[in-house]
Amino acid sequence: MSGFAVVGTGTGVGKTVVTAGLVGWLRAAGREALAVKPAQTGYPPDDDAGYVADACGTDAAATCLRRLEPALAPEVAADVADVELSYAALREGVETAVAGADPGVVEGIGGLRVPLADGREVLDLVADLELPVVVVADSGLGTLNHSALTVQAARERGLTVSGVVLNRYEGATLAERTNPDVLAEMVDAPVHTLPPLELTTPADAVTGVRAHLPADVFPDGYGPD
């Protein structure tokens, strides 16, 4: 598969901002990158694919396979809304989208263990597609446990973890200042820090990510060069 996944340690850690930044960075370099959201819950108002498209200035930058109104894990949201949600269909749709992109960037839903459909989780989808992953996490107190467990879960399924992005990093607390080095030792992977971005418009996500993250945040072979 020509792509990678951006996964989080949980909900609200900044996966969409990082995804938008990486996809926009690639498209600015002439790549036909595409953000792929397998399922969006809490829609409306939540629309991660729409945010990425706005950030990149084109609908060609993002797609979402299914949108569900309840703000719950996809499998739970489908049950509450009494609609069918098929894991096989989601997997096939993501495979098709990623195969036609350069590269496809699959954005997770919540954390890796979030129920997706038919008893399968987000982790199952990423593992079935054998995508390398970029992990996005909070930068403050508590992130060591959440991040290390996420990396462990991915590696136990044979996935390559290219690195961790500690989002909204200010270095304002002792925990924040020590977390990057400690986490890098714990997970034996690069740990990058991304400061709080001034997101006046979605396009600011692209500018901010390019300004503050190194090019090696991308998994090997998928960078803008």
Domains of the chain: 3-217 (3.40.50.300)
* Residue spans of beta strands (DSSP E) within 88-160: 104-111, 115-117, 120-121, 133-138
Average pLDDT of span 104-111: 98
15 catalytic residue (yes or no): no
Confidence class of residue 225 from pLDDT cuts 50, 70 and 90?
confident
Q: Do the beta carbons of residue 116 and residue 68 sit within 8 Å?
A: no
Helical H runs in 171-217? 174-187, 203-212
Q: How far is 62 from 104, CA to CA, in rounded Å?
A: 9
Q: Confidence band (pLDDT; 50, 70, 90) for 99?
A: very high
On the question of pLDDT at 46 being above 80, the answer is yes
Averaged pLDDT for residues 96-103 = 97
DSSP helix/strand/coil, 123: helix
Residue with tokens 């190194």: 214
| Pairing of β 191-194 and β 161-167 | parallel
Provide mean pLDDT across the span 66-89.
Answer: 98
- Residue-averaged pLDDT of the chain: 98
3-state SS assignment for residue 223: coil
Q: How far is CA 94 from the centre of its chain?
A: 14
Confidence class of residue 77 from pLDDT cuts 50, 70 and 90?
very high
Whether the CB-CB separation of 182 and 175 falls below 8 Å is answered with: no
Spot the catalytic one: 15, 27, 37, 192.
37
pLDDT surpassing 80 at residue 1: no
- Over the stretch 136-187, which tens digit does the pLDDT of each residue have? 999 999 999 999 999 999 999 999 999 999 999 999 999 999 999 999 999 9
Contact by Cβ (8 Å): 202, 55:
yes
What three-state secondary structure class fits 208? helix
> Both tokens of residue 168?
């909204």
Q: What is the pLDDT of residue 174?
A: 98
Is the CB of residue 132 less than 8 Å from the CB of residue 219?
yes
| d(C-alpha 142, C-alpha 67), whole Å | 31
Residue type, 170: E
